[in-house]
Chain A
Amino acid sequence: MISYTLHTYLIIAVFLLAIGLYGIMQHRSMIGMLISIELILNGAGLNFMAFNRFLAPDPTTGQIFTLFIMGLAAAEAAIAVSLIFAVYRKYKTSDPEQISDLRG
């Protein structure tokens, strides 16, 4: 029963982390990087849920932690999308390598 072992879920979570890292480094647009960050956050939530199911004594702890991660991911996505809007309006580009000047 592969769906009843801890290792399966942990390896899926590690896969999500690795592919999210790949996406962050290789995507050339900020929205693409945001998508990769969402994948990494999902991997973290899956990790918490797996440990909660197989190792933790109290099954509510991991569920509440995962709900917390979901709320933070929603807030982070809202802030990130609005920042991308602001940067796009100012620089007329969405390539993160073009946005390189500061102004005091």
Chain B
Amino acid sequence: MAYGTFTEIFFYLFVVLIIFGALVAVTSPILMKAVMGLAMAMFGIAGLYLYLNSPFLALMQILIYVGAVCIMIVFGIMVGYTPKQLAEYAIGPKNTLLAIVTSLLTLGVLSFALVKTQWVPATGAGSGDYSLAHLGETLMTRYGLAFELISVILMIAMIGAVAITWNGKRRGIK
């Protein structure tokens, strides 16, 4: 009983982390604070992955999103902007009303739809093998194409990122 209560409390904590982090990420006019909010929301989502029975995905979430993507965006901010511009790029008053209406409409319509829908689980849902060994074996056999594709995409993205920012003598963007 106490164990269940503790897990519930931690679940609420993760949800609060997600909501607060996402709000900071989209409303802060200072971009560095926005990235910190993004990292906070990612941590919360990693916690939810623990509740969804997959600690490996939670660790990958922290490693890839918090460790790689957020750091890359931080580098993007520090190299590309000066602090004065950071403060100047405040949120424009022009689009705010439109953005609020659109996002609230999306939230309302989709929440209504998913609450009204009767979700029917497949036979044997939630009782499969969640172990990391089974995941790795499936990744190597049945989903080998997805594995190869993501490897090629990551390599092309790395080469492309270097090629786009290349300030070489012969070609490229001046």
Q: Which residues of A does B touch, CB under 8 Å?
A: 1-3, 6-7, 9-12, 14-23, 25-29, 31-32, 34-36, 38-39, 42, 45-46, 49-50, 52-60, 63-64, 66-68, 70-79, 81-86, 88-90, 94-95
Contacts and interface: CB of A to CB of B under 8 A. Distances in A.
A35 B39 CA distance: 10
A26 B34 CA distance: 13
A60 B131 CA distance: 9
Interface in B144-166: 146, 150, 153-154, 156-158, 160-162, 164-165
10 contacts: A3-B51, A14-B111, A19-B25, A32-B89, A39-B25, A64-B146, A71-B154, A78-B158, A78-B161, A89-B173
Contact of A86 (B11, B12, B96, B173): B173
DSSP class of B's interface residues: helix, strand, loop or mixed?
helix
Contacts of B53: 53, 59
A85 B160 contact: no
Is the contact region of chain A dominated by helix, strand, or loop, or is it mixed? helix
B31 A77 contact: no
Interface residues of B, number: 91
B76 A84 contact: yes
Nearest to B130: A59
Given A42-B42, A70-B61, A57 B18 contact: no
A6 to B, nearest CB: 6
A64 B146 CA distance: 8
B79 interface: yes
B76 to A, nearest CB: 4
